[in-house]
Amino acid sequence: LPQDFQVAQPILETIEAAGFEAYFVGGAVRDALLKRPIHDVDIATSAYPAEVKALFKRTVDTGIKHGTVTILDHGAGYEVTTFRTESTYQDYRRPDKVTFVRSLDEDLKRRDFTINALAMKADGTIIDLFDGLADMQQQRLRAVGKPFERFHEDALRMMRAVRFEAQLDFSLEANTKAAITSNHQLLTKIAIERIHSEFLKMMLSPHWATGLQTFIETKLATAVPLFLPYQAQLKQALAYDGVFANETQVWVFLAWNLGLTPDKLKKGLKTWKTANQVINQSELTLQLCLTLQKQPADIDWVLYQSGAQAVRDGLAVLRQVNRIDSAQQQHLQQIYDTLPIHCAQDLAVNGRDLMAAGLTPGPKIGQSLQQLQRQVVAGKVANQPKALLAILQN
């Protein structure tokens, strides 16, 4: 039994001692079998939420309506969820009703993919009702039950499919893939925040290109904001490998391939309900990439104005799309790192100093500070109060 499960073993045993069934389920079982890092250990049980709560001292009603109780144990939290079935998904996403059941089989049947529908007993025995272990062996992602129905009842599963492909380096089983293609339009019914979250997990995975390829081939890429008119350009992005360090790199990389202007990117990211901070940073970073492309004479100033994060991300993207090689990347990073100052606060004088030196308060102060930064960054004056005030006098 992997370490993460060992510490949770007593929880299963307590539930079992009370006459109920309890199993480890979901992503943790999958990841343990694949020897991948485990995040949350989820437990499924035949006990109803009230019955679970009666067995443990410290519990939290995290999702009691859906049957989930969190058990607090030695600083860790374990989500224990009552076996349940889900019925009639009217909005292609949330089940209208969850029904608690006493059978593990029913619970496993509602899960999305066979590799996510494995259960593990306290002694480590695996329960594999849908040949999930064989699929795992073949690195295959296959829907539990009838794929068409499963994606029709919950369209978010289509995004989960491409995300798991990318995370695990699996490929979609043919019928599962065909069912996504048939249902791709239903993705438009899903909240963009949910799509965004899965899309990002996909792009931040080592095998993002595998997921992105399926995302394009199944036409999911035509059912999300921004990408529809750019299918051919999106395909070009598949030619590159390498991983992305953060969300900004992902968007700037995609924008580069799509040929978006910074403004178009900004508008597109709003439709994806991306965080404002990421939108601003992506716009700035794309602008930097486009400017560097033109080999500007005042490169120090361009880098200075972009800031540390945009420089790092912009260079990473330019490297990824082979516009610069790694020596150039290091060289440009070095130029930035060794600038005499990196922001207005680094300047040896501030607005108050300028007023004390006789400048009249007003917009002139800001302009002078900007001038000084430019001169310092260009290496034309030392970053010392005396030297700075002296050039203002002229």
Question: Per the annotation, does 298 bind a ligand?
Answer: no
Pick from ligand ATP, Mg ion, none: which does 132 bind, CB < 5 to 8 A by kind? none
CB half-sphere exposure, 218, CA atoms < 13 A: 30
- Binding region for ligand ATP (CB under 6 A): 26-27, 39, 42, 111-112, 116-117, 154, 156-157
Q: Which is nearer to Mg ion, 27 or 242 (CB)?
A: 27
Q: Locate all alpha helices (DSSP H) within the chain, ordered by sequence.
A: 3-17, 27-33, 49-55, 104-109, 132-137, 147-153, 156-168, 174-183, 192-203, 208-217, 231-236, 247-258, 262-271, 276-293, 299-306, 308-320, 326-337, 351-356, 363-377, 385-393
Shortest Å, Cβ 265 to Mg ion: 31
Pick from Mg ion, ligand ATP, none: which does 173 bind, CB < 5 to 8 A by kind? none
Shortest Å, Cβ 3 to ligand ATP: 17
Question: Per the annotation, does 40 bind a ligand?
Answer: yes
Cα angle value 199/203/208 (rounded, 5°): 120
Question: Per the annotation, does 94 bind a ligand?
Answer: no
Span interacting with Mg ion, options 24-32, 107-115, 128-136, 363-371, rule CB under 5 A:
24-32
Report yes or no: 45 and 104 within 8 Å, Cβ to Cβ. Answer: no
CA–CA separation, 358 vs 375, rounded Å?
20
Backbone angles phi, psi at 140, to 5 degrees: -120, 135
Q: How far apart are the first and last CA of the chain?
A: 76
Pick from ligand ATP, Mg ion, none: which does 116 bind, CB < 5 to 8 A by kind? ligand ATP
How many chain residues interact with Mg ion (CB under 5 A)? 1
Question: Per the annotation, does 27 bind a ligand?
Answer: yes
Q: Which is nearer to ligand ATP, 119 or 369 (CB)?
A: 119
Q: Which is nearer to ligand ATP, 87 or 231 (CB)?
A: 87
Report yes or no: 52 and 78 within 8 Å, Cβ to Cβ. Answer: no
Shortest Å, Cβ 232 to ligand ATP: 31
Q: Which is nearer to Mg ion, 81 or 306 (CB)?
A: 81
CB atoms under 10 Å from CB of 291, counted, come to 17
Is residue 27 close enough to count as binding Mg ion by CB under 5 A?
Answer: yes
Annotated binding site for Mg(2+): 40, 42
Annotated binding site for CTP: 27, 30, 111, 154, 157, 160, 163
